[in-house]
Structure 1
Amino acid sequence: MMNAEIIGVGSELLLGQIANTNAQYLSKKLAELGINVYYHTVVGDNAQRLKEVIATAQTRAELIIFTGGLGPTKDDLTKETIASVLGVELTTNAEALESIEAYFKQSNRVMTPNNKKQAIVLEGSAVLPNDYGMAPGMGLTVEGKHYMLFPGPPKELYPMYESYGQEFLAQKLELKESIESRVLRFFGIGESQLETEIEDLLDAQTNPTIAPLAGDGEVTLRLTAKHANAAEAQRMLDEVEKTISERVGEYLYGYEATSLHNELVKELTAQGLTIASAESLTGGLFSERLTTVSGAGEAVKGSLVAYHYEIKQNILGVSEHTLNQYGAVSEQCAAEMAQRIQQLYKTDIGIGFTGVAGPSKQEGHPVGTVYIGVAYKDQAPQVYSLQLSGSRQGICSRTVNYGCHYVLKMIKK
């Protein structure tokens, strides 16, 4: 199995001006190919320090991937430094130069001479075209070690890897097996609980492999199977997914890069249901998330941000008795908010959010106290209480996720 190191080049990474998301992305992609990434390194725009980093990487990795430093300016020195270390020449790639000239012509901009620098590549390298920018990537093998160079902007790197970089690696690895992967997304169960439920599967995993990953209040499992036959690899994934679902299937809500709000809109639309939200602590975040999904207009009728007592009572219609007797942060208020928005907007579902996002207590309730009311058709409203931790923003975000989760479970029954 091949070992890899990813080297991010750019002083802006060290200064904290941008996050090194490229390393995260590439690590995920390399794992799909069975390549171990043991080191992430970041170095500034300094030739001597980059040489030292390369020398270290050569002692511990068979694949060394560089991101950044391929641009037109003087501080873009990645390929020049690598050429010096490897003892290879630099040459202008005609196709890359033609692509750069076309890029400027298309955007109606004058091409300055230094942009020609971006068409210079390591001699003998496989050139990886840049379909979304100018600087091409490269792949090169020298003395049994593989080197890959990618531009820094993620919008250029990601499609370049998908379209050309992965193929270069597959050739070098002489992959004869089909590698199929599937991401299972779970909500309402913690990472530790999920791992406990499938501990024996994790301990015994060989092929397919199971990789847990915690996200923003949810957990994902990446299943990866290898087989000479792609259909057989998919069958293997089906089998292990079935075993996992038998144990924790009630928390499984979707696959791959989906989200709770995406799945909720999809399910609402499929069933021909409509929804409206009354939001206090979430401040409209629930409706914002849903309306980012294409086609949400069929299911989402609207929302009302009822932040103040007066709006809850005079506009939304929560009773004065409820607010005086139980308070705005209460099960009773959440239930009424859900029911009233359902009635006002004439929807199948009404959902109400109330609680304390922080930074201080409200009505005697600690920060993180949340009540979510859901009114579904002519059924009595259901209220869910939560005690969340974290920042104000984090509490609001997770409240919205729970709201999507509860509605999804209700309408799927």
Structure 2
Amino acid sequence: MKAEIIAVGTELLLGQIVNSNAQFLSVELAALGIDVYFQTVVGDNSSRLQEAIEIARSRADVILFTGGIGPTEDDLTKEALAASLRRSLHIDQLAMDHVQRFFDERKVFMTENNRKQAIIIEGTTPLANEIGLAVGLAFAEKDKYYIVLPGPPREMKPMFTDKAKPWLQQHALTNEMPIYSKMLKFAGIGESLLEDKLIDLIHSQTDPTIAPYAKEGEVTVRISTKAPSEREAMEKLTVLEEQIKAILPEHMYANIDVPLEQLIVDWMADAGLTLSAAESCTGGLLMQSITNVPGSASMFKGGIVCYSNEMKMKLLNVPSAFLEGVDAPGAVSRQVAEVLAEQVRMTADTDFGLSVTGVAGPGYSERKPVGLVFVAIAERGKATEVFELNLKGTRENIRLRSVKALLYRLWRRLEERRVATPLEGSDL
């Protein structure tokens, strides 16, 4: 069963608000076994909206509308849909009572245009709005199913979940199987290389399906299948997951949708391990990513943002010979990254110390190119590891990619430790 989502509102076309409703509905519909093939955004114009309705009717089985059902003149969704289907409009008394009660309880005069929020199309099922005032609609005509929802997400989401979804399950989904998915998370590898590694599986996919997509510093692979039960779906998905993990064991860090830093925090906290950090070019971004995770206080002792050479020398005892002079390796060097990681670990008395120093741009520093970054991991009782990164992108891209790269290498170190001494109950 194919669906189209029509979001109504000129403010969406102008970029004044983001269409988060479409994302929410796409996820919800997929879980019901309804494939969203199209998303359309239309301004507050009746003729263009009717054109969009006609196009949607020609290619989708389920058509969902968000927005355009408020009290103002430019709220035209119900009127345009009624005109397109040649149906009349009338006031729903229960919805009107709800609107009137809202104003009476607040002792506020109700203007006449608010009656518009209680309008429904002839022969439709009203969907009560428990949060706002505008009533929604659901109805079927000629094997097409229509859902009309309000635009504000705080009204749209509960109306869909509590009213529209049960209606769809009762009227449209008698023979549809739900879609089940798993999210496989990868780090230390780009989207193009990951796809190249999985290309044989991608080309041969039928069921389950494979869909990689990337965000800064991480890649997610969604594997999905339709099945009559969750147990049957998980059996199929697990087989594919194991195939993918066998190809990329050094990069797949989770089979649930969690960021890498959360997995690191949870595992280190459970293992009783502690962490500290010294940051130069990232300016605290590494520490922010860690402390954003609930529970990080039990494993992260703190860190130092040593942006200047003066702070590197004063706070973390970086030798001036590393920073100053013609022959000095400079702040952006393996030597300085190593000292920073070791000194912050000793200063904080933690099991691990991390460091990052580099050139985030936009210009050169110490005659070194933008994107040259050194990260280091110091571990109690072990030799410190330093990694050279050569990154591309904007200043913010480089800073974020530096953090993700360092977290990936910490995860690899922790994974080696976990394999050597497995922690009961760990998902790492």
Q: Same fold (TM over 0.5)?
A: yes
Name the SS for the 1:23 alignment partner: helix
Contact residue 93 and residue 120 of structure 1 kept, 8 A: no
Contact residue 179 and residue 230 of structure 1 kept, 8 A: no
Mapping of residues 14-413 of structure 1, within 5 Å: 14-86=13-85, 87-92=87-92, 94=94, 98=98, 110=108, 112-113=110-111, 114-115=113-114, 117-130=116-129, 133-171=132-170, 172-175=172-175, 177-324=177-324, 325-413=328-416
In the alignment, the residues of structure 1 paired with residue 241 and residue 303 of structure 2 have an alpha-carbon distance, to the nearest angstrom, of: 37
In the alignment, the residues of structure 1 paired with residue 197 and residue 296 of structure 2 have an alpha-carbon distance, to the nearest angstrom, of: 35
In the alignment, the residues of structure 1 paired with residue 265 and residue 273 of structure 2 have an alpha-carbon distance, to the nearest angstrom, of: 9
Contact residue 32 and residue 224 of structure 1 kept, 8 A: no
In the alignment, the residues of structure 2 paired with residue 8 and residue 109 of structure 1 have an alpha-carbon distance, to the nearest angstrom, of: 34
In the alignment, the residues of structure 1 paired with residue 60 and residue 410 of structure 2 have an alpha-carbon distance, to the nearest angstrom, of: 48
Superposed CA RMSD in Å reads: 2.7
Higher mean C-alpha deviation, range 12-21 or range 30-39 = 30-39
**AA in 2 matched with 1:48:** S
- Name the CA shift for 1:328/1:91 in 2 (closer, same or farther; >3 Å): same
In the alignment, the residues of structure 1 paired with residue 292 and residue 212 of structure 2 have an alpha-carbon distance, to the nearest angstrom, of: 28
Contact residue 217 and residue 405 of structure 2 kept, 8 A: no
5+ unaligned residues in a row in structure 2: which ranges?
417-428
- Name the CA shift for 1:369/1:110 in 2 (closer, same or farther; >3 Å): farther
Contact residue 3 and residue 62 of structure 2 kept, 8 A: yes
**AA in 1 matched with 2:62:** L
In the alignment, the residues of structure 1 paired with residue 389 and residue 166 of structure 2 have an alpha-carbon distance, to the nearest angstrom, of: 47
Contact residue 97 and residue 116 of structure 1 kept, 8 A: no
- Name the CA shift for 1:179/1:41 in 2 (closer, same or farther; >3 Å): closer
In the alignment, the residues of structure 1 paired with residue 103 and residue 298 of structure 2 have an alpha-carbon distance, to the nearest angstrom, of: 40
In the alignment, the residues of structure 1 paired with residue 75 and residue 274 of structure 2 have an alpha-carbon distance, to the nearest angstrom, of: 53
Q: Deviations over 1:134-167 (max 9, x none)?
A: 5454332122212222322334444544454444
- C-alpha displacement of 1:351: 0.8
Percent of paired sites with the same residue: 42
Contact residue 267 and residue 408 of structure 1 kept, 8 A: no
How many residues are matched? 410
Q: Deviations over 1:300-331 (max 9, x none)?
A: 21121111111111122222122232111111
- C-alpha displacement of 1:399: 1.5
Contact residue 72 and residue 116 of structure 1 kept, 8 A: yes
5+ unaligned residues in a row in structure 1: which ranges?
none
- Name the CA shift for 1:205/1:388 in 2 (closer, same or farther; >3 Å): same
Name the SS for the 1:400 alignment partner: helix
- C-alpha displacement of 1:354: 0.9
Contact residue 217 and residue 400 of structure 2 kept, 8 A: no
- Asked which structure has the greater CA Rg, the reply is 2
Contact residue 69 and residue 77 of structure 1 kept, 8 A: yes
In the alignment, the residues of structure 2 paired with residue 298 and residue 313 of structure 1 have an alpha-carbon distance, to the nearest angstrom, of: 29
Q: Deviations over 1:178-207 (max 9, x none)?
A: 532111111112222222222222222222
Q: What TM-score do the two structures reach when normalised by structure 2?
A: 0.87
Contact residue 375 and residue 386 of structure 2 kept, 8 A: yes
Name the SS for the 2:241 alignment partner: helix
Q: Deviations over 1:268-314 (max 9, x none)?
A: 21211111111111111111122221111111211211111111111
- C-alpha displacement of 1:336: 1.2
Contact residue 375 and residue 381 of structure 1 kept, 8 A: yes
- C-alpha displacement of 1:89: 2.7
In the alignment, the residues of structure 2 paired with residue 47 and residue 368 of structure 1 have an alpha-carbon distance, to the nearest angstrom, of: 51
In the alignment, the residues of structure 1 paired with residue 100 and residue 255 of structure 2 have an alpha-carbon distance, to the nearest angstrom, of: 38
Q: Deviations over 1:14-38 (max 9, x none)?
A: 1121233333443344445454434
- Name the CA shift for 1:52/1:352 in 2 (closer, same or farther; >3 Å): same
Aligned to 2:5: 6
**AA in 2 matched with 1:274:** T
- Name the CA shift for 1:257/1:44 in 2 (closer, same or farther; >3 Å): same
Name the SS for the 1:211 alignment partner: strand
**AA in 2 matched with 1:285:** L
Name the SS for the 1:181 alignment partner: strand
**AA in 2 matched with 1:147:** Y
**AA in 1 matched with 2:209:** T
In the alignment, the residues of structure 2 paired with residue 339 and residue 120 of structure 1 have an alpha-carbon distance, to the nearest angstrom, of: 69
- C-alpha displacement of 1:256: 3.7
Q: What TM-score do the two structures reach when normalised by structure 1?
A: 0.90
